[in-house]
Every structure is written in structure tokens, then in C-alpha cells.
Amino acid sequence: MNIKNYLSDLNDQTQIIFKESIGFQDEFGQAHHFSSCIYEFAQHIPDEAERNILTTVSSQIEAATLNVSLGMYRQAFSTLRLAFEMALSVAHFSVHKLELQEWIDGRADIKWAALIDENNGILSNRFAKAFFPEFSEDIGAYRSRAIGIYRKLSEYVHGNNETWSNSGLELKFNKGLLDSYFESIRVVEDVIIFVLACRYLKTFSPDVLETLDFIPENMNHISYIREYFGGPSN
């Protein structure tokens, strides 16, 4: 088979999938809004390395969403997991500068177990008490959500049998997987914003806080966040 014709046929099929996918405009709009919020948040982080990682997270969220719009569901879930892990690593690296430099130099990897360590990770009471003590009220629940969504996304990285039976090997539109992606990215959004808010909010000036209206919108159900942004406690 002529490789040009073969790739053209695949491209034609992805465009058919795209036309079906784009009917979910609200969901795609929310996913794009999330990546834009992460980019905006990154611009206010003074440390250049942390800022660059979070900027990369924004681009990877966009890449994941593009993949899912074209029917490349496994690639979408895998890329979303990468973005999720990198986003949480920013908070971890912000207090572990040696590990950050080793990662930049290629001498160390991001360790998921360290990120979600119950006693010392970025979703531990110890971490919350250091940067925004009120977050201790909810950090256990968000840790559970982080572990759950990471496990779900990892199934597509490790090739669990169920992920093949759900998606098959044929390039075609799959509403179930598209719905699953949007459900997953909503959880990823909630956890990332929670972690970044816990770590950085109290380092930002009032002028910066005024530009981050997506945080109280996302976390409106949490009283101490509403109060921090000048809203009612209940």
C-alpha cells in the first residue's frame, strides 16, 4: 500500500471522528478553559523552572484534548496522566529544590508515590499546614480523588486488558470513551487547582488574586476559599 494513501485514509477517518466529537462543544470549551487557567496561573509563579513546568502542563492538557477529539482515546488518557503528574510535581518541586534540579538535569524522575505520600506528600496535612492550614479540612478527600483518577488514567498507559476491550483497535468514534475523558479531566482539574491553591495562594498579592477568579469559581463549595476571595463564609 502506498504510505501516502494509507496516511491520508487515516486522516480522513480522524476527520469523521472530529465532526462527531465537536458536537460536545460545552465539554471541549471547559477543557480548553482549564488549560488556559493553568497557563494564567503559571505566569504568576516567580520561580522560572516551576513556571515552565506548569506552562508545559497547560500545553499537554491541550494535546490530550486534541487527541480525544480525533478519536485517539488511549493517547488522550495517557497525555492527561502526564499533565496531571507534572502539575502536582510543581508543588512538590517548589519545596524540594534539589529534586527539581536533578529532574531538570535528567538525573531523577517524578515519583508518584512521593507526591501522594500520606505523611509528607503534597496532599498531606503536613503540606497544608505549612502553606494554607485551612486546606487540612479537605486534603484527605482530594488525596483519595488524586489516587483514584491517577489509577484510572494509568490503565491506558499500562495497557490493561479492559482498556483494549472498551476501545478496540479500530479508529472510530466512541462516545463512551469521550464521556469518560470529560469526566476524568473534571477530576484532574479539581485536584490540580486544589493543590496549586494550597501551595501558592498565600504567596500572591491582592492584585494577582483578582485575576484568578477561576479559583473561587471552581472551589465555591469550600468556605475558606470563598472567604479568602472576599465572599461569604456560608
Query: How much is the pLDDT for 194?
Result: 98
User: What's the rounded Cα separation, in Å, for the pair 63 and 51?
Assistant: 19
Cell (9 digits) for 76: 488522550
Cell (9 digits) for 11: 486522516
Cell (9 digits) for 168: 478496540
In a domain, 234, yes or no: no
In a domain, 161, yes or no: yes
In a domain, 157, yes or no: yes
In a domain, 139, yes or no: yes
In a domain, 221, yes or no: yes
For the packed helices 73-94 and 97-104, what is the interaxial angle rounded to 10 degrees? Answer: 140
In a domain, 233, yes or no: no
User: What's the rounded Cα separation, in Å, for the pair 35 and 26?
Assistant: 15
Give the total number of structural domains in the chain: 1
In a domain, 219, yes or no: yes
> Would you say residue 169 has pLDDT above 80?
no
Q: Show the domain range for 179.
A: 3-228
In a domain, 9, yes or no: yes
200: CB partners within 8 A, 6+ apart:
41, 44, 45, 131
Q: What is the pLDDT of residues 114-138, one digit of tens each?
A: 999 999 999 999 999 999 999 999 9
Q: What is the pLDDT of residues 31-56, one digit of tens each?
A: 999 999 999 999 999 999 999 999 99
User: What's the rounded Cα separation, in Å, for the pair 204 and 46?
Assistant: 10
Query: How much is the pLDDT for 129?
Result: 97
CA distances from residue 78 to 73, 200, 219 in whole angstroms, order as listed: 9, 27, 26
